Amino acid sequence: MFKNRVEAGKLLGERLLRELEAEKKELIVLSIPRGGAVIGSEVAGCLACPHDVIVTKKLRAPMQEELALGAIGETSGSLYVNKRLVDELGIANNYLKKEIVDRQREIKRREELYRQGREALHLQDRVVIIVDDGVATGATMIAAAREVWNRKPKKVIIGLPVIAKDTLGKLEKEVDAVIFIEAPEMFYAVGQFYEDFPQLEDEEVIELLK
């Protein structure tokens, strides 16, 4: 149990520093907003490296917005689709295409909002650490990893305070390493592992990136 995201970010930063000290000069931290921006800020501070956001969005099931059919990042190469779920629900291809376009439009808007005119960091030949406050199903993190690979980094690493144990294997197939603090078997929601887990606003993310 973590006190809050700040504590979780500091603990994760210390863990990552031990694991990646030899590559410290090549590191870049990308956080998935909103909650992941707090983690990313603390981790980047610990590693003394640049910090930016990477925005990914769930592909929402019809009439069930909380149910993720997959996820997408800024480019089509990041697409992750849960084909089993899509087939089970009988999701039409036209619906999926429209949802992808809608989500990518929102991704572009949010990235521009968060960066406030700054250019995205160049990832080529860098060791990129993608962080969030936790992972349940892994859909948005998989899309984030695929998006980063599109930009030709040297390595991609996922850093997490907590991850559902049965999701760990899926993420390990997408990146060079998944470095985490806790991987419990009983996992219902990320918030259950934090004493204080408030919803962040866009303004707070903007401030953390300054």
CATH number at residue 99: 3.30.1310
Question: Residue 101 sits in which domain range?
Answer: 57-114
* Type of residue at 111: E
Q: Locate tokens 């084909």: which residue?
A: 83
Q: What is the mean pLDDT of each run of 10 residues along the chain (210 residues)?
A: 97 96 93 96 97 96 89 95 95 96 96 94 97 95 97 97 96 97 94 95 94
CA dihedral 117, 76, 135, 92 (to 10 degrees): 130
CATH number at residue 131: 3.40.50.2020
Looking at the fold, whether 94 and 190 belong to one and the same domain comes out as: no
Q: What pLDDT is recorded for position 144?
A: 98
Q: What pLDDT is recorded for position 169?
A: 96
In the listed set 114, 140, 163, which residue is the last one of a domain according to the structure?
Answer: 114
String of DSSP letters for 118-149 = PPPPP-TTSEEEEE-S-BSS-HHHHHHHHHHH
| Cβ-contact 32, 53 below 8 angstroms | yes
In the listed set 80, 95, 114, which residue is the last one of a domain according to the structure?
Answer: 114
Q: What is the pTM assigned to this prediction?
A: 0.94
Q: What pLDDT is recorded for position 210?
A: 86
